[in-house]
Amino acid sequence: RETSRVECGEAVERQLVSNPARNKEYLPITGVADFNKLSAQLIFGADSPAIQESRVTTVQCLSGTGSLRVGGEFLAKHYHQRNIYLPQPTWGNHPKVFTLAGLTVQTYRYYAPATRGLDFQGLMEDLGAVPSGSVIMLHACAHNPTGVDPTPEQWEEIRKLIRSKALLPFFDSAYQGFASGSLDKDAQPVRSFVADGGELLVAQSYAKNMGLYGERVGALSIVCKSADVASKVESQLKLVIRPMYSNPPIHGATIVAAVLKDSDLFNEWTIELKEMADRIISMRQQLFDALHARGTPGDWSHIIKQIGMFTFTGLNSEQVSFMTREYHIYMTSDGRISMAGLSSKTVPHLADAIHAAVTKAV
């Protein structure tokens, strides 16, 4: 299984379909109230001071992409800085979403091809040089496309720098629980930024961690300095959403809310979610072991050091083309592969292809 929807999510869906009281009326502009409340608790923690002090406003959006777009347009209309800095590289849709929302996209160094790891020095230098008040896009966990995340210690240095320059963090949380298998661990970077009392935005997606890709279930939360500001922010978010898509869809968000508020369903989901994360981690280990057993030239430890669905293999475009031509393996030209697409049966074939590409491809 590559998603965790199959059991707890489908059980909820069957109940919803058979409920005679269920209707298809419009939702409020901000979406399902329980979904919003529970989504904020999931990412920030139920005991979050920001939630307890009513400094968080959350609106249901069209998955992670829609949440990013609503947040971007809100910033373009109301924030004093129009620059948003994205890690290089980042998810291919990020620049398009924020540009069309009205922001000016810039980049900061993130990935170091030589080590196939984090360019922490470059990242800190670039963030240290950006104008005060700029928006900084951060991947909460399982960075897409590299699979490279900062360590907890590096996250703390990043947080201190961002706060010292009064930069505004905007987190994209597409893989909570799907990276390490722990919902709390994957949310820790976001929670550390909330704990210092500063403002931030976070876009959540339930596509991966609940397998609700086609239902387009997401949320945008904005942590503000006070409850009064949060209330005003929500009213402005409604003005962004209303002419964009009027109100969000009901079905997927109702499924998520049902899972999150029922302790038995929630526990079942967390177990399934850990199974999914552990399977991907296992695929990483199996691929690394297979390459090591073949004596494939190079250091492939980055495969097990990286985390999440994706891995930057370090293969170049010529090697990727060779694998497509000779082994009928298809991946993006930058060498990124989806670990979720691997199985124990296909790992040997991929390892053979990588070995041949490294040793034979020009």
First and final C-alpha spacing in the chain: 37
| DSSP assignment string, 269-299 | HHHHHHHHHHHHHHHHHHHHHHHHHHT-SS-
User: Which of the residues 119, 126, 208, 300 is marked catalytic?
Assistant: 208
Q: Are 200 and 223 in contact (CB under 8 A)?
A: yes
User: Which of the residues 126, 172, 186, 352 is marked catalytic?
Assistant: 172
Decide if 24 is catalytic. no
CA 100, 249, 199, 155 torsion-angle sign: negative
Q: Are 206 and 36 in contact (CB under 8 A)?
A: no
Q: Are 337 and 311 in contact (CB under 8 A)?
A: yes
For residue 229, count CB atoms less than 10 angstroms from its CB and return exposed for 0-12, middle for 13-18, buried for 19 or more: middle
Distance CA 86, CA 146 (A): 14
Distance CA 228, CA 320 (A): 54
- Compute the residue count for the chain: 362
Decide if 264 is catalytic. no
Decide if 165 is catalytic. no
Rounded to 10 degrees, what is the CA torsion of 22, 25, 27, 28?
A: -130
Q: Are 82 and 255 in contact (CB under 8 A)?
A: no
Q: Are 322 and 356 in contact (CB under 8 A)?
A: yes
* Residue in the structure block whose two tokens are 């661990």: 185
Please give the positions annotated as active site: 91, 172, 208
